[in-house]
Homo-oligomer: A and B are copies of this chain.
């Protein structure tokens, strides 16, 4: 549209730079923000600013926290001898929501990605090795994504941690629960057959 004011165009552009928001949603959100009361817009803006100011990375596991050390690392009820390695904070959130895991975490903040020139030095891998080197770790569960970058990151970490003689595991790949075999992609299906278990 030629007649869209530049200011609104700019707002739509900024909003559509957020993940998962296409141009249509961005337009809808921009118009919604412009229809909000001044006080509500102020609240939105302040929440963004305050959260950004107060939230930082946990110095142990690199989870996000507004405290000195994150709640998971500070919790004595969790098993501090098991570290689950994830690519992103959102993966940590997803595993926490499942409610199954009681160990601690290590967030890499990415995966090795040769195509985009992301190398091990760009990730929190050195810090993971330092944590393991301090001792008292029994197992490292590598929960990087089951794709090319996640796989090479897992292999790289496995190689680095080998000298410490701890248990190193990778989360299982296979058919997601509740799905149907004829909808599964062929790679997942091949993996599920290859990794079959006796019952």
Contact = CB atoms under 8 A, between A and B. Distances in A.
Interface of A: 1-8, 10-11, 14, 18-21, 25, 27-34, 36, 38, 41, 43-45, 47-52, 54-55, 64-67, 70-72, 75, 88-90, 93, 96-97
Given A44-B14, A47-B11, A1 B97 contact: yes
A177 to B, nearest CB: 18
A3 B7 CA distance: 39
State the number of copies, please: 2
Nearest to A43: B14
A2 to B, nearest CB: 8
Contacts of A54: 7
B1 A93 contact: yes
B89 A31 contact: yes
